[in-house]
Amino acid sequence: MNQYKVLIPSAGLGTRLGNFSKNLNKALVSLDNKPVISHVIEKFPKHVEIVIALGHKGDLLRDYLEMAHSDRQITCVDIENYCGSGSGLGLTILQCKDFLQSPFIFCPNDTVILEEVPEPTMNWVGYAEVENNHHYRSFKLSEDAIVERVCEKEEVLSFDTKPYIGLAGIKDYEAFWKAMEDGKKYGSIKIGESFGIRDMVKEDIEFRAKQFTWYDTGNLESLKAARELVKSKDAPEILEKANEAIWFVNDRVIKYNSDPKFISDRAIRAELLKGYVPEITNVKENMYSYRMLTGKTMSKSANYKTFERLLNYLMFFWEPADLSDKEYEEFKNVCEKFYKEKTEKRVQLYFDRFSEKDVRETINGVETPTLEHLLSKIDWERLCNGKPARMHGDLHFENILVAETGDFYLLDWRQNFGGLTSHGDLYYDLAKLLHGLIVSHELINKDCFEVNQMDNVITYDLYRKHCLVENEKQFFQFLEENKLDVYKVKLLTSLIFLNIAPLHHYPYSKMLFYLGKESLYNLIKEQR
Confidence at residue 135, expressed as pLDDT on a 0 to 100 scale:
73
The answer to whether residues 127 and 209 touch, using CB atoms and an 8 Å cutoff, is yes
Confidence at residue 235, expressed as pLDDT on a 0 to 100 scale:
67
Intervals of the chain under pLDDT 50? none
CA 299/CA 436 separation, integer angstroms:
9
Confidence at residue 326, expressed as pLDDT on a 0 to 100 scale:
96
Confidence at residue 445, expressed as pLDDT on a 0 to 100 scale:
83
Tell me which CATH homologous superfamily contains domain 5-229.
Answer: Spore Coat Polysaccharide Biosynthesis Protein SpsA; Chain A (3.90.550.10)
The answer to whether residues 376 and 369 touch, using CB atoms and an 8 Å cutoff, is no
Distances (CA, A) of 47 to 5, 37, 72, 473, 501: 10, 17, 7, 56, 47
- Sequence-ordered list of residues with C-beta below 8 angstroms from that of 63, at least 6 positions apart, any chain: 284, 285, 286, 287
Tell me which amino acid residue 447 is.
D
- The DSSP-derived string for 24-85 is S-GGGSEETTEEHHHHHHTTS-TTSEEEEEE-TTHHHHHHHHHHH-TTS-EEEEE-S--SST
For the chain, the structural domain boundaries read: 5-229, 295-527
CA dihedral 294, 262, 311, 489 (to 10 degrees): -150
Q: Which 8-state DSSP code applies to residue 418?
A: T
- 3-class DSSP state of 279: coil
Confidence at residue 97, expressed as pLDDT on a 0 to 100 scale:
97
Residue 457: strand pairing partners:
362, 454
CA 207/CA 200 separation, integer angstroms:
9
3-state secondary structure 397-412: HHHEEECCCCCEEECC
- Sequence-ordered list of residues with C-beta below 8 angstroms from that of 231, at least 6 positions apart, any chain: 32
3-state secondary structure 210-246: EECCEEECCCHHHHHHHHHHCCCCCCCCCCCECCEEE
At the second CATH level, the architecture of 295-527 is Alpha-Beta Complex (3.90)
- Strands 214-216, 111-113: pairing kind: antiparallel
pTM: 0.83
Of 90, 71, 92, nearest to 81 (Cα)?
Answer: 92
Report CA torsion sign: 482, 484, 490, 496: negative
Confidence at residue 58, expressed as pLDDT on a 0 to 100 scale:
92
Tell me which amino acid residue 521 is.
Y
